[in-house]
Amino acid sequence: MTPVTFKQLTLGSGLPKICVPITGTDIAKVIGQAGEVVSSSTDLVEWRLDYLNNLEDLDQLVQTANRLTEILGELPLIATLRDRTEGGKRQIADSDYRDIYTELLTKTKITAIDLEWQRDPETIKNLIALAESNHVRTIISHHEFDHTPSEADMVSQLTAMARTNGSVVKLAVMPQSSDDVLALMNATHQVSAIIDQPLITMAMGALGAVSRIAGQTFNSCLTFASVHAQSAPGQLSVEQTRQILTTLAPTIEGLETSTLN
């Protein structure tokens, strides 16, 4: 696994980084949430475009993205357009998906975009190429909201996602048992040793909460937390997450040292 930089931030080394979502339904709410996020201890920010009521207004979308990057300063900004099939707030055709991201990639200074792995492969390939040409990172993502695949299937899936050559690979699953949570952690640990990209994985819901704060143990490089509203089930607050990650770090580092010795 090779670390990747998002502005001044490095994913794939040290403690897992914390990302907070902006989920405003209109521009005023988006800007207001950005101000709250800046006051938190988050490491980077995800703007959930699918929450917007006026997503079709591309000129306003670009203006808002540029305003957000000004407010956030050195905090990296990930733009995410999540389809309803992946837990998002709207259904988005591939053509609209391509057009919206193209506007953002060519007319704003966003740090990264989230790309859904199960989209049309040609659309994803073209968007990755466009992102690279504009020095924007890509997160290749997939979400299973009703179950957790087997450990072997998750290893196969994550490996296949890495072959798209995006910057980072992300998988979120819904556990039905503690065995599912362990399977996700094991799969992540295995895959981190065989692919180049950093991994983001999580088990959603209360049952999977441990996966959001134990990423350093099994090589998941980022976790999502909330300032107010959650964007996925099971998210902790930024401050809760920061405190737990910091508390666990000396213990984990001590175990790694004793293993080496």
**Contact, 203 vs 148, CB < 8 A?**
yes
- How far is it, in rounded angstroms, from Cα 229 to Cα 222? 19
pLDDT tier at 202, thresholds 50, 70, 90: very high
pLDDT at 214 exceeding the cut of 60: yes
CATH top class, domain 4-252: alpha beta
User: Rounded mean pLDDT of 239-251?
Assistant: 83
Enumerate the domain spans of the chain.
Answer: 4-252
Given a cut of 70, whether residue 82 has pLDDT beyond it is: yes
Q: Is the pTM of this model over 0.85?
A: yes
What value does the mean pLDDT take over residues 224-239? 74
Predicted local distance difference test score (pLDDT) of residue 57: 96
The reply to whether 170 belongs to the active site is yes
Specify the long-range contacts of residues 97-101, CB closer than 8 Å, at least 24 apart.
Answer: 97/123, 98/123, 98/126, 98/127, 99/58, 100/49, 100/55, 100/58, 100/61, 101/127, 101/130
Q: How confident is the model at residue 228, as a pLDDT?
A: 66
CA distance 126 to 204: 30
Annotated binding site for 3-dehydroquinate: 46-48, 82, 212, 231, 235
Tokens of residue 159, six digits: 């490996």
Residue 179: pLDDT over 90: yes
- Return d(Cα 136, Cα 163) in angstroms, integer: 18
Q: Identify the band that residue 12 occupies on the pLDDT scale cut at 50, 70 and 90.
A: very high
Answer yes or no: is pLDDT of 19 > 80: yes
Catalytic option among 17, 170, 189, 228: 170
Burial class (CB in 10 A: 0-12, 13-18, 19+), 230: middle
Residue 228: strand, helix, or coil: coil
Is residue 258's pLDDT more than 80? no
Q: Which of 142, 143, 147, 189 is catalytic?
A: 143
Residues 85-99 have a mean pLDDT of 95
Task: Please report the DSSP string for 192-212 in residue order.
Answer: HTT-SS-EEEEE-TGGGHHHH
